Structure 1
Amino acid sequence: MDLPVEWSWLIVIGAASAAGLFYLRMTQRAEEEQRMPDPGLAIIEFGRAFPEEAIRAIHATQNGQATFLRLHDERVGLMVSHGAHYACYRFEAGQIRLDHAPDTQTLAIVFPQFAKLDGLYHFATPEAAADVSLWLLGSFRT
């Protein structure tokens, strides 16, 4: 059975459209994955800055710009993303102040020694924000 030429063009256009939509969806998915925080990267980068520190737990902010790390000796680590570069900090628990935050998924943190880090840190869940607040206040004991 031979198809008319008009139908052949419609099939070609339909296949090209489907391929284009598939490509766009795969590109969007790759971009979403790149925006998601990578705990493995936090472990590697923080380990380079502080090789003697053992990491017990990690929570990243919702946008992936900051990662908080609970360390083995009741200290708290912070890794801040600056594009392709990272700044790593280590704090004694209890040195940091928490201010009133607008919701349960957000922490308003004041770093007395590093004012440039002061600000609002948004987490994906209220549980993650609560964990980090306990670490920062030195109230988390296992």
Structure 2
Amino acid sequence: MLWTITIVCLFLAGLIFRQRFRRDDEPERMGEDAGLAILEFGRAFPGEAIREIISTADGRTVFLRLHDGKAGCMNAHGHHYTCHLIEPGAVRVGSAGPRRLSVQFPDASFEGGTFEFRDERQAAEVSLWLLGSFMPTVAGLGGKALGQPT
């Protein structure tokens, strides 16, 4: 009986110790998850160059701005990610609050939802990426890209 009590106490002490250190290193884990997201997206889409990433407040979803005006989205499922390449204009984005975006995909190949970000600036930036408003090739060419005479 004494051995059973000792084993249970050691097990509970281990759980408490684990939970305490898990809360303390949460900012570091967010950085590791961002690096893992870059590696996983690069493995899924090797021809796409990543310019910037923004993760949601809970860290379960990562949005990526790519080099050619496209965007990427990755959802965490345990220790695995599902990666999606989003073409400009192939998504519906709406505001669901100051730091929240409601994202719907018409082709339903990717489950949309409501995503909450750390601040309003990040939510606005991701909405620009998803809507295709931020297109560096168009911005760099001026009127020629829009079909206007120069």
- In structure 2, the residue corresponding to 1:63 is in which secondary structure? coil
Say yes or no: does 1:121 pair with 2:115. yes
Gaps of at least 5 residues in structure 2 are 1-15, 137-150
Shift of 1:116: 5.0
Q: Figure out how many residues of one structure are paired with residues of the other and give that number.
A: 121
Whether the 8 Å CA contact 1:37–1:60 is kept in 2: the answer is no
CA shift, 1:27, in A, is 4.2
Counterparts of 2:68 and 2:126, CA distance in 1: 15
Alignment match of 1:45 (pick from 32, 36, 40): 40
Distance 2:124 2:108 in 1: 22
Cα pair 1:99 1:109 within 8 Å, conserved = yes
- What SS class does the counterpart of residue 74 from structure 2 fall into? strand
Report the equivalent of 1:138. Answer: 132
> 1:107 — aligned with what?
101
Could you state the TM-score of these two structures normalised by the residue count of structure 1? 0.75
Identity of aligned residues (%): 46
Farther-moved stretch of structure 1 (75-84 vs 92-101)? 92-101
Out of 43, 58, 63, the position equivalent to 1:63 is 58
Q: Which has the larger radius of gyration?
A: 1
CA contact (8 A) 2:68 2:135 kept: no
Deviations 1:54-107 (A, max 9, x none): 001110001111100011111110011000111000010111001341x11100
Q: For 2:83, which of 88, 109, 120 is the aligned residue? A: 88
What stretches of structure 1 move > 4 A for 4+ residues in a row? 21-25
CA RMSD of aligned residues (A): 2.4
Give the counterpart letter for 2:100 in structure 1: T
- TM-score w.r.t. structure 2 length? 0.71
